[in-house]
Structure 1
Amino acid sequence: MGAVYLSLQLILVFGLTVFLLNKYANLRKQHLVVLALTFIGWYFSFLIIFILPLDIAITFYRKCGFDQEVKHNESLYNNVSFEPFECEEPKGYISDNTLLSTWRVIYWLAQLLTWIVLPMMQSYSNAGDFTPTGKLKTAFYNNAAYYGTYGVIFVFLVFYAVGKGVSLSFEHLKILLISASNTWGLFILVVLLGYGLVEVPRQLWQMGNREYRINKAYFDIDKLSTDRNDAEEAVREVYFEAKDALNILQNQRGLARHKAQVIVSKFPSDFVDELNQSKRSGAEHRFTSNSVDSNIVSNDKYLISS
């Protein structure tokens, strides 16, 4: 019965995860690797919500049985009568090995995604290289500082543990990794919680003041407008620079011209049409096709940085 109940929970969480992925992302347009890793992250996160109450119920059930056994032994020792009490078994009761294996899979997959896979994927998606190998190298270089910092801290903890007389077995190293990860998580939690305990009540209090809300709305609108204008100007300059690079390479054959075309194709069509209309109306941009040498433009570093 417990296995059936657990299977129903797994199927329910699976359906919920697929529904949310379909609601907040276009499943047909997303890359398969991105969908798979996002599904795994969401699936096991939701699974914790369903398994944790079951784990607590099983723990209370075992505690009830343990208390009953202790009282029974005490009654035998004191030669007194013992009236057994009923311990209600949870509906989704499963064995210790199944529950422990489930928690281990959830925990170590979360560790792998948090510390290795997701940071690498984020850097990979932000990399401007044209090949998967180049993007992986850029992602590795971007995360090297973080991994180096983590490595130094881990080595320090290893030497500290050795100094305290702890043997470096596999189990002890695993415990050390878990302790370091939990310590970092608790540190971040304390920092964010400390900020939230002060900032959230203050924001709620200030939101009750109508004059404050109006002034804040004026400030936010002005700031958003300035940021939008700056972003549009930056994108406009990048587009003109990429267009100039394509014009320089228009008579060349090879990968450089194709890469320049890839860069230009990334700009939205409505944005390009708006720029072309403004150019026809007399607006000029400061980049010229003769301002950069073709040998420099054909370099991957120049195209990536543009």
Structure 2
Amino acid sequence: MQNDMISISAISVGSNVFFSFALLTISVLVLLLLRRFLTLRATPAYLTIPVFLALALPASVVLLVPIDLASSSRDGGGPKAIWLPDRLILVSWRIAYWLIFVLTWVILPLLGEYVDSGYREPKGRIEYSLRSNARYQLIVLCCAVVGLIYISIQNGFEFTSIKALVMALAYVWGLVLAIYLMGHGLVSIPRTLFRNANASGRLRRIQACAPRLHDRLMDAITDLESLESQVSQLQRRKTGSALEFQEWIEDLAETSNTSEQRTALLEPSDPSSTIPAVITERYMADLTRRLQRARHQKARFIDEWDRLVLTAADLQAIINSSASKKLEFGHAPHRTTFLARQKVLTPYMRHHLYINVIPNVRLLFGAIFAAASVCVIWSELIKSLAPRLSVVTLSIVSYHHDPAPVGFGRQVTTSAWLLYMCWAALVGLNDAKVWGNRALVRRNTYGESACWYAGLVARLTVPIAYNFLTFLPMSVRENSTFYRFLGRFIDLTPLGKGFDYIFPIFILVPVCATLFNLYGRVKNICGFGLLEEEEEDLENNPSGYGIGGWREGRDLIERELTGLGSLTLSTRDRSPHPSSRIEEGTNAFSSSRTPRGEAIRPSRPPRGAAVASTVVAEEEDEDNFFQSFAHRVKNTFETASKPQWLQGDSFRLPRWMGSDSAEGNGGLARWFGGRPAPGGVRL
């Protein structure tokens, strides 16, 4: 007996050491992730610490679930996996859950608006943050009151009911968002791997996306220079109310482009049309906020354009190497991938690596992830009817010993399933275009965007973890500490228990929408879309002729690589402005990168018109007689004038369905996370 106690104690010590080492590893990985998207030395601690916790705590949840299952299924014969005492697991769940709850519902929303306020003084920033979050918190409070009335009628009014209500409402909102995003990601992950295995098809899709991305970059440059023009006008005003904010104006001018080479298009003829006669603190804060958003919007599209151009160059080099059997990548200082920067491989070995090995590896992993996606979707559909038929359940729990304890191998399987489900949700989070102007930019992410993404990651992890727990049999689930901490409050009422089992069936909605590209059809019908598919332009215009075709994207990329374009990589100023501060821009790219006169996009041919002679000469060999005849017939119909009886006003959407803002703040977008106007609603 004494020997058994010593053995169990030794294994417990080993599990504690492993748990501590795993937490340390998670912390290091999160720091590396923050270093990739933020400049840690220039980012203040009040922003870095909450974002770090919002990423590290959800990662620890993925670690806690398999440890909890192994600890709660011990049979007295000695543990066969990583386990912890029940009290330590309960304390860990309490710390992780309530810290995540406070971060996602209070700290990160307030901190994001604090960084994005535009005010100079902390008092003004705090007041703006409270005003911006007041209406959103009021809506949440109204929902909480309705839920409290229901729970009080069902189980009586007491402190446990209030706690159950708070945890159940947070879980319901997180589960709704997680099911939608995860459903999209379960289709997007294997489909992306299958499509990227074909270099020519991937290059064609990138070329189809290039015109739209180039337009956005040009618009971002124009918007930024327009705002900097206002700053220049303010700087020249030496009388009146502007004197009160002279120091503020000088700070804005230091981080702006003060070049006098602006075109007459940007300089308004009447300064009073853009700048009010009386300068107020609210106007200065609004100008500062719009200026720093415009800087980071420009930095975002510069980063996306650079990656698109370099990826297209790499793919073109891979395709061209089929003749010579030798692969060499150009633009070595700007390489985007780790393999492309390696000099160990010979050109011949690199050719076979990218032509034969990497495509087959992508196809293999695509098949594996496709099977995993099918298993997850099947488990969501079947868990309430026949949980023993669930593939996820059978890979974790054995029914031979009613059920057998969870061993180390099954713990690894549990972590793998959880990681894949969370990865699918994060892929859907990255692909969804309902978050306004928020984006992750390498070493230059806006502080408000960092808070937003970190808050969503933290908000999604706990609902996904508990939803995964519902795949398991009732005996295993109810014995876990996670269920005793969270699950019993969700199952407190029949409505909550039914929602937990019925709602995940709706994962078929985002799965089918992504699988059959329903987003593109909704966008064509209603004028807006929740997702922007890369292949949408290619499917609508497979020939590539006309405005925004893949041929135009190919020309834009070639001009960029040869140095003839307006955004050449060789002249790119990628260094942050030395005088920028984290509160007023987070080291955005310098706005003096290209003069406006050189940033004008090359003119496009009119839709349906004849293509330029150089393009026609280049494509003569590619088109046979039937293809050329089809193109001519198509151009004939496209250039035909519309009958007079069809030339009336087009169908106009209602005002509440409109989306006129470039940042996604108009119409329905402000209900789905777009940056709201003062007093707007933000989910």
- TM-score normalised to structure 2 length: 0.37
- Asked whether 1:9 is paired with 2:22, we answer yes
1:154 to 120, 144, 162: 144
Structure 2 distance, partners of 1:159, 1:180, is: 13
- Counterpart mapping for 1:129-278 below 5 A: 129-164=119-154, 166-197=155-186, 213=202, 216-249=205-238, 255-267=244-256, 272=257, 275-276=259-260, 278=261
The amino acid across from 1:53 in the alignment is: P
Structure 1 distance, partners of 2:16, 2:194, is: 49
**Match for residue 81 of structure 1?**
none
Query: CA 1:45/1:206 → structure 2, altered by over 3 Å: closer, same or farther?
Result: closer
- Any idea what SS the aligned residue of 1:291 has? helix
1:255, distance to aligned residue in structure 2 (A):
4.1
Structure 2 distance, partners of 1:168, 1:257, is: 57
- Any idea what SS the aligned residue of 2:73 has? helix
Q: CA offsets, 1:213-269, max 9 Å, x none?
A: 5553333111111111111111111111111112113787854111212222333xx
Query: CA 1:101/1:19 → structure 2, altered by over 3 Å: closer, same or farther?
Result: same
Q: CA offsets, 1:133-186, max 9 Å, x none?
A: 21222222222222121111111111112232x222222211111111111111
Structure 2 distance, partners of 1:227, 1:218, is: 15
Query: CA 1:194/1:294 → structure 2, altered by over 3 Å: closer, same or farther?
Result: closer
| Larger helix share, 1 or 2 | 1
* Residues 114 and 129 in structure 2, CA contact (< 8 A), matched pair in contact too: yes
Q: CA offsets, 1:3-47, max 9 Å, x none?
A: 444433333433443444445433221101111112222222232
Query: CA 1:250/1:217 → structure 2, altered by over 3 Å: closer, same or farther?
Result: farther
**Match for residue 89 of structure 1?**
79
Structure showing greater relative contact order (alpha-carbon pairs closer than 8 Å, 6 or more residues apart): 2
**Match for residue 89 of structure 2?**
99
Structure 1 distance, partners of 2:88, 2:274, is: 66
The amino acid across from 2:50 in the alignment is: L
The amino acid across from 1:95 in the alignment is: P
> How many correspondences in the alignment?
274
The amino acid across from 2:224 in the alignment is: V
Structure 1 distance, partners of 2:138, 2:106, is: 13
The amino acid across from 1:44 in the alignment is: L
The amino acid across from 1:137 in the alignment is: E
**Match for residue 279 of structure 2?**
298
Give me the identity figure in percent: 21
- TM-score normalised to structure 1 length: 0.76
Structure 2 distance, partners of 1:11, 1:200, is: 29
The amino acid across from 2:86 in the alignment is: D
**Match for residue 399 of structure 2?**
none
1:205, distance to aligned residue in structure 2 (A):
6.3
**Match for residue 72 of structure 1?**
none
**Match for residue 73 of structure 1?**
none
Q: What's the Cα RMSD here?
A: 3.1
- Any idea what SS the aligned residue of 1:133 has? helix
* Residues 123 and 142 in structure 1, CA contact (< 8 A), matched pair in contact too: yes
Structure 1 distance, partners of 2:271, 2:195, is: 56
- Any idea what SS the aligned residue of 1:28 has? coil
- Any idea what SS the aligned residue of 1:119 has? helix
Larger Rg: 1
The amino acid across from 2:235 in the alignment is: L
Query: CA 1:11/1:205 → structure 2, altered by over 3 Å: closer, same or farther?
Result: closer
Query: CA 1:202/1:49 → structure 2, altered by over 3 Å: closer, same or farther?
Result: closer
* Residues 206 and 212 in structure 1, CA contact (< 8 A), matched pair in contact too: yes
1:106, distance to aligned residue in structure 2 (A):
0.2
1:207, distance to aligned residue in structure 2 (A):
5.9
- Asked whether 1:37 is paired with 2:26, we answer no
**Match for residue 112 of structure 2?**
122
Q: CA offsets, 1:254-287, max 9 Å, x none?
A: 54111212222333xxxx26x43x24xx756433
Stretch of structure 1 that moved more, 218-227 or 37-46: 37-46
> Mind listing any 5+ residue stretches in structure 1 that lack a counterpart?
66-86
- Any idea what SS the aligned residue of 1:130 has? coil
Query: CA 1:283/1:289 → structure 2, altered by over 3 Å: closer, same or farther?
Result: closer
1:204, distance to aligned residue in structure 2 (A):
6.0
- Asked whether 1:58 is paired with 2:71, we answer yes
Query: CA 1:202/1:156 → structure 2, altered by over 3 Å: closer, same or farther?
Result: same
The amino acid across from 1:17 in the alignment is: V
Q: CA offsets, 1:67-90, max 9 Å, x none?
A: xxxxxxxxxxxxxxxxxxxx2325
